[in-house]
Amino acid sequence: MHEIITLQLGNFSNYTAAHFWNVQESYFTYGSQEESQIDHNVHWRAGIGTDGNETFLPRTVIYDLKGGFGALRKVNPLYDPVATETSDVNNSLWFGQPTVHKRNPIQQNPFQQSLDAGTKPPPLNESTVRYWSDYSRTYLHPKSLVQVYDFDHDSAIQPFERFEMGTELFNSLDKEHDIVDRDWRPFVEECDLIQGIQVFATFDDAWGGFASSYLEALRDEYPKTCIWLWGLQNPITQAGRQKRQLRLANTAQTLHQACAQASMVVPIALQEGSLTPNAKINYVSPWHVSTLVSAATETALLPSRIRHSLTRASLGDTARILNATGSQTLALAGLKLFPEATEHGKKDDDEVIWFPIAQEHRTRQQRNRIHAQVTSYRGPGTGESDQQRATTDELNRDLANRPTTINLSDAKLVTTRHSSSQFWTASPKYLFGQLTDAVYGCRSQVTQLFDTNEREFLSNGIAEIADAYRDDWSSGSDEDADEL
């Protein structure tokens, strides 16, 4: 059935994925409604609840630190195991009176309480959204939820913020019980014909190290499976120079490792001030930022779950278009809004390009370089006539010396896309093209943060990633590399 299994690593990744699953849930149709254009079997798994009824839940594995799940529990009305008395085996191990230490449970917010009660939920706002589970509308299978007890969420004493901490955590957990075998394999064994793996992971904290090790383990187990990695950046907050350098170092290390394992890596970070004033967004709110990021990621791979085969494009199909040479596993992401999405019908000509590392040193010619491109249109109409779209494609080909280009306008959904956070209502055009030499910005900024041996290894690895996009064309990139 061309299934996709999703892997969510870290708190902000779960913020983003919660929006993603809310949107997938909104595609379901009931009763006399017109059949959905989305094949739900791609991202959802059928099962049987404890009461014997059929269930349909997201095909995903979710990791977060202790306290990061909020009020979410492993049990839910679909999978609520019957409480049992303590077994004789346990009683034989301890003859005294047990002492139970429990944290005070986090209470559900009014939104979740209304969902459980079947009443109309109140509007969400920043004061009522404290965790990603606060706005999640979907039930999750108990096996999907993996809480990591070694670290506390938002701990000021031992923050989970270094790349090495992530790799060490994965190795310790994997040594204790094979993580892939315990958490991942049950979902794979349910699939008829898996088309690929979708991963959400933050690059700029310890989850980047955890993700790098996890991807290596997945690649060993599934060497030919297409793996799409969305490399996210946590919302920017006020941080000192040392903290910013740490984030850059984490990003560089994760980028280096991920490009060697994933089929396609898309670093994505919303920079403050990149949107027009019409977009009312709090750049330090994970709920706000993840909404926009999720809208982009959800639209980008929409063709992978289209019901009709003539308009379907699998994860592998899209990756092959973007990675024509076999060594270009890194892509840039961009987003444009249609005119009707802005106030007073004013067209928004600003294209948001996300990359977590500053790129000021790139020349104008480098920024216009496109090696391959996939464009996905969606919303009520495309916002462009076929003639306008053809003109745009011709310009793109002229800029990029006729790169591989494909438009997925036929895969658009003729429905208005409303984000679940209720502040972003847009019909986005999602575009991502292959990276040129922007990676050199990462190399120049972070390699001085490591010792000599590690610096040389990392610098050479990042340079190899960037070299895949040079094509021996003269753009001043040689000078940039020599100056490092």
User: What integer is the mean pLDDT of 231-244?
Assistant: 82
What digits encode the pLDDT tens for the residues 87-111? Answer: 444 444 555 677 776 677 888 999 9
Segment among 155-169, 248-262, 394-408, 460-474 with least mean pLDDT: 394-408
> Could you tell me which of 161, 158, 153, 103 has the C-alpha nearest to residue 130?
153
The whole-number pLDDT of residue 370 equals 66
Check whether 350 has a pLDDT greater than 50.
no
Q: What is the pTM of this model?
A: 0.81
Per-residue burial over 91-117, b = 16 or more CB atoms within 10 Å of its CB, e = otherwise: eeeeeeeeeeeeeeebebbebbeeeee
Q: Which two tokens stand for residue 108?
A: 């559900």
252: pLDDT confidence band, cut at 50, 70 and 90?
A: confident
Which of 259 and 78 is assigned the larger pLDDT? 259
Mean pLDDT of the chain: 75
The CATH-assigned architecture of domain 3-76+108-332+349-365+432-468 is 3-Layer(aba) Sandwich (3.40)
User: What integer is the mean pLDDT of 12-25?
Assistant: 95
User: What integer is the mean pLDDT of 300-310?
Assistant: 85
Which of 194 and 278 is assigned the larger pLDDT? 194
> Could you tell me which of 436, 365, 369, 439 has the C-alpha nearest to residue 402?
369
Distance of alpha carbon 199 from its chain centroid, rounded?
6
What digits encode the pLDDT tens for the residues 121-132? Answer: 899 988 899 999
Which of 413 and 337 is assigned the larger pLDDT? 337
Measure the CA–CA gap between 409 and 303, rounded to whole angstroms: 10
Contact between 185 and 215 under an 8 Å Cβ cutoff? The reply is no
Rounded CA Rg of the chain: 23
Q: Which two tokens stand for residue 412?
A: 């658009």
The whole-number pLDDT of residue 73 equals 83
Contact between 122 and 39 under an 8 Å Cβ cutoff? The reply is no
The whole-number pLDDT of residue 286 equals 93
Which of 347 and 39 is assigned the larger pLDDT? 39
Measure the CA–CA gap between 257 and 167, rounded to whole angstroms: 11
The whole-number pLDDT of residue 369 equals 59
Strand order in the sheet with 60-66: 145-152, 60-66, 3-9, 194-202, 227-232, 264-268
332: pLDDT confidence band, cut at 50, 70 and 90?
A: confident
Q: Read off the DSSP letter of residue 235.
A: P
Distance of alpha carbon 294 from its chain centroid, rounded?
7
How many other CB atoms sit within 10 Å of the CB of residue 175? 9
pLDDT over 90 percentage in the chain:
36
Which of 447 and 315 is assigned the larger pLDDT? 315
The whole-number pLDDT of residue 440 equals 54
The whole-number pLDDT of residue 418 equals 29
What digits encode the pLDDT tens for the residues 43-68? Answer: 999 888 777 778 899 999 999 999 99
What digits encode the pLDDT tens for the residues 64-88? Answer: 999 999 999 877 778 765 544 444 4
Measure the CA–CA gap between 234 and 232, rounded to whole angstroms: 7
SS3 at position 12: helix
SS3 at position 367: helix
Check whether 427 has a pLDDT greater than 90.
no
471: pLDDT confidence band, cut at 50, 70 and 90?
A: low
User: What integer is the mean pLDDT of 377-392?
Assistant: 47
| Amino acid at site 113 | Q
The whole-number pLDDT of residue 79 equals 78
Place of tokens 């104008």: 364
